Structures are given as C-alpha cells and as structure tokens.
Copies of this chain bind each other. A is one copy, B any other.
Amino acid sequence: MDGTSDVIVVGAGVIGLSIAWRVAQRGLSVTVVDPAAGSGASWTAAGMLAPVTELHYEGRELLALNVESAARYPAFVADLAETTGMDVGYRRCGTVVAAWDAADLAALRDLHAFQVSLGVDSHLLTSRELRAQEPSLAAGLPGGLWAPGDHQVDNRLLHRALVRAATAAGAPLVSARVVGWRQAGERVTGVLTDDGRQFSAGTVVLAAGAWSGVTDGLPDPAVPPVRPVKGQTLRLRGPRELLGHVVRGSVRGNPVYVVPRADGSLVVGASSEEAGFDVRARTGAVFDLLRDAQTLVPGLSETEFVEVSTSVRPGSPDNAPLIGPSPLPGLLYATGHYRNGILLTPLTADLVTGLITGTGAVPPVCDPQRYAAEEART
C-alpha cells in the first residue's frame, strides 16, 4: 500500500480540489489523484457565475442550487485569499444580455417574466438603456436584460489557488491516472494508479469531470451517466475599458458570451459539441465564436487574439450535477456539473464535506440516486 488516507479524491479540477481543501480543513487526511491537474474544463472555462442568465425553462430545479452556490462565493474566495494570499479575480461585475433582433428580444421578455416569477434579480433594458449600460455593444440592438448578481471569477487563478490551498491543508496531489479500483466486497476501498501504486481510503470521491464516466475498472453499475460535451473558448486581450460587464447574447440562435477580466483579458465562449473526447480546436467553432461575439461587440476585432482553449464538460442526462452516494458504498460522486462547474464549486465542496463528516445531506436535484428512481418509475 503506497498510501492510506481518510479520503481519496479522483480529479484535481476545481471541484476535486475544493472538496480536498474543505475536507482537509476538517482534519481528515486526503489524497488527490490526477494525471494532469487542472488541464480540463477548469482551464477552458470562462468563469461566469451566472445563476440568473444561465437559467433555462427546464432548469428551475437547478436554479436554487446555482443561486445558493453563487451566494457562497464571497466567503469562499475570502477564505481562499486568507489561506493562499491569492486574489482569484472574483469580480462583482453583473451581466448584460443583449437581444440580437426583435424575435430574440421577445424571447428575452418571456424569459424575464419566468425569472421574475422565480424571484431572481433581473431587469429588462431598452435599446438605449442597453448601450448606456455597455457602450461597446453594437448600435441598433433592440434591448436586453440586466442581471446585476451574475458575476465572474478567473477560473485559472481559482484553480491555482485551490492547488495551493489543498496542498497547504495537507492534501497531497498524486500525479497519476486511476486505472483500477480496490474493493472489499461491494465497498470501494481505494484506487490503483498507472504508475503501479495503490492507495486506500475510507471514502473515494469521483470528481473527474467528463472523464468520470470512463474511469478504468469501475464496475458497470457504478459508472456515472456522464458524457463529454466539447467546449471551446477564446482568450483575447483588449483595452481594459472595452467592457465593464459580462456580455452575453444569442446571435441567430447561437449563444455567445464575453467575459472581461480586470486586466483587459477577454474570454469568449463557448461552443458546445458532442464529439467524444476529441479536444482538438475546431476551426469552424473558432470562426462562429468570433463572428457572434463581434456581432455583439464590434470592438473585439481590434483586440489581440491570444489563445484557443478546448476541453470537455461533464454532461449529465438532465444537466444537473451528480453529488452524493454512488451505488457502491465508499464511493461518492461529485461530477456531471456540465456548464456550471465553476459556479457550483463552493456548494459542491460543502455538500461533499457534509456527507463525509456526516453533517449534511444533498438536495434531491443533484442526488445521483434520482436516475435510479426515475428508471424504477418508468
């Protein structure tokens, strides 16, 4: 046995690391295993913290989860800053949604009514108010929405800070890939890694993002229903004053957003494709993002083109995460966060910590057992 700890976390993205950090803070010993920490969706994400403007009609159950996690962000980043001395770019900038044409504005009005019915803070903007709020938007856009509570964090800084925080809390990072699972009967008792080592623990948390569904050697019934959904983002660099808020919209039906960092960087996202684990940047997706983003913010054409980033999000059958017990004792899930992984990081860490320390339960919307219950019903 190469290591025994209370908890093993498989996956060192923001989800896995925040769990490791929080659990280690409670005095438990934690080992984190990942062959390439933070190289997945945590790296490619744009860092929008957008419970309101990510809300879709079918997503009302997820809304409470997203709102709750957004509410925990200020304390989460403050705690992280205290631990690590790092500023992770949490920016209370609000989000503007620009309508692209009259039909899009009509759809936004309906969405706004739905949002208001759920009690979230969202305001309709006239064309004039829209440009007053964000003068770099294209002239002639017919109106939009203002979601003052939809903020952002720099996901790459967040990941770096979480590496430091988890390490400082005594949760070492093992740079290896999980290729097998130790079991005692049904119970999961540890993992085997591709460098031939074995680790055991009382609890194993599967937090491997899109790769959670393809972890070698996990018995079939314990494989979570998570699939890779390819996403591309672009990094640009422009004048700091170009945008003051997150800007998003739907141009000819294609969703696009631009997240302005405090240093003048701009993240443009995001494509969404079902392409397995192919994380090569696709030319057509780069083009579509540039076209749609420039349509909303023409000044982007004069920015510096810095980077294309591609990864796979962990999609789930109902787009809500899987947080909680797996079918096997000893194995917890913290995966399937799809488009909301950065946003749901503080809450996920707290929920999993509560389960491990026996001090909390998870809400039904993210309980992995809901799929089994669903199957039993039908």
Asked if A55 CB lies within 8 Å of chain B CBs, one says no
CB atoms of A282 and B304 under 8 A apart: yes
A283 close to B287 (CB less than 8 A):
no
Task: Give CA–CA (A314, B112) in the complex, Å.
Answer: 55
A370 within 8 A of B: no
Task: Tell yes or no: A305 within 8 A of B by CB.
Answer: yes
Minimum distance in angstroms from A24 CB to a CB of chain B? 40
A282 touches which one: B281, B282, B284, B301 (CB < 8 A)? B301
Q: How many A residues touch the partner, as a band?
A: 20 to 34
Q: Mark A271-315, 1 if CB is under 8 A from B, else 0.
A: 000000000111111110011001000001111111010000000
What's the minimum C-beta distance from A307 to chain B, rounded to whole angstroms? 9
Let me know if A294 and B287 touch, CB within 8 A. yes
A3 to B239: give the CA distance in the assembly, Å. Answer: 46
The answer to whether B308 touches A283 (Cβ under 8 A) is no
Cα–Cα distance between A281 and B305 once the two chains are bound (Å) = 5
Tell me the minimal C-beta distance from A271 to chain B in angstroms: 11
Q: Does A331 contact B (CB under 8 A)?
A: no
Alpha-carbon gap, A294 to B236, bound state (A): 22
What separation, in Å, do the CA atoms of A237 and B294 have in the docked complex? 25
A265: min CB distance to chain B, Å: 13
Nearest B residue to A287 via CB reads B290
Cβ–Cβ < 8 Å partners of A285 in chain B: 305
Contact B286 A290 (CB under 8 A): yes
Residue pair B308, A282 in contact (C-beta under 8 Å): no
Q: Which residues of chain A (297-351) have a CB below 8 Å from chain B?
A: 300-306, 308
Is B281 in contact with A301, judged by CB distance below 8 angstroms?
Answer: no
Residue in A283, A284, A290, A308 whose Cβ sees the most chain B Cβ within 10 Å: A283
Residues on the B chain within 8 Å of A300, using CB: 283-284
Q: How far is the CA of A287 from the CA of B280 in the complex (A)?
A: 19
Return A291 CB to nearest CB of chain B, in Å: 7
Least CB distance from A346 to B in Å reads 33
Which B residues are CB-close (under 8 A) to A284?
A: 294, 300-302
Which of B283, B302, B305, B306 is within 8 Å of A236, CB to CB? B283
Q: Collect the chain B residues with CB atoms within 8 Å of residue A308's CB.
A: 305
Cβ-defined contact, B291 with A287, below 8 A:
yes
**B280, B281, B290: the one within 8 Å of A283 (CB):** B290
Asked if residues A302 and B282 are in contact (CB atoms below 8 Å), the reply is yes
Q: How far is the CA of A283 from the CA of B304 in the complex (A)?
A: 6
Chain B hits for A287, CB < 8 A:
287, 290-291, 294, 301
A59-71: contact bitstring with B at CB < 8 Å (1 yes, 0 no)? 0000000000000
Chain B residues, CB < 8 A from A304: 280-283
Which residue of chain B is the closest to A278 with respect to CB atoms? Answer: B304
Cα–Cα, bound, A300→B282 (Å): 9
Closest to A289 in B: B287
* Interface contacts beyond A282-B303, A286-B305, A287-B290: sample of 6 additional A-B pairs, CB < 8 Å, sorted by A: A281-B304, A281-B306, A283-B304, A286-B290, A287-B291, A287-B294
Q: List 5 A-B pairs, minimum CB-CB distance, nearest first.
A: A284-B301, A281-B305, A280-B304, A287-B290, A283-B305
| Sample (17) of A-B pairs whose CB atoms are under 8 Å apart | A236-B283, A237-B280, A281-B305, A282-B302, A282-B305, A283-B302, A283-B303, A283-B305, A284-B300, A286-B286, A286-B290, A287-B287, A287-B290, A287-B291, A287-B294, A287-B301, A305-B308
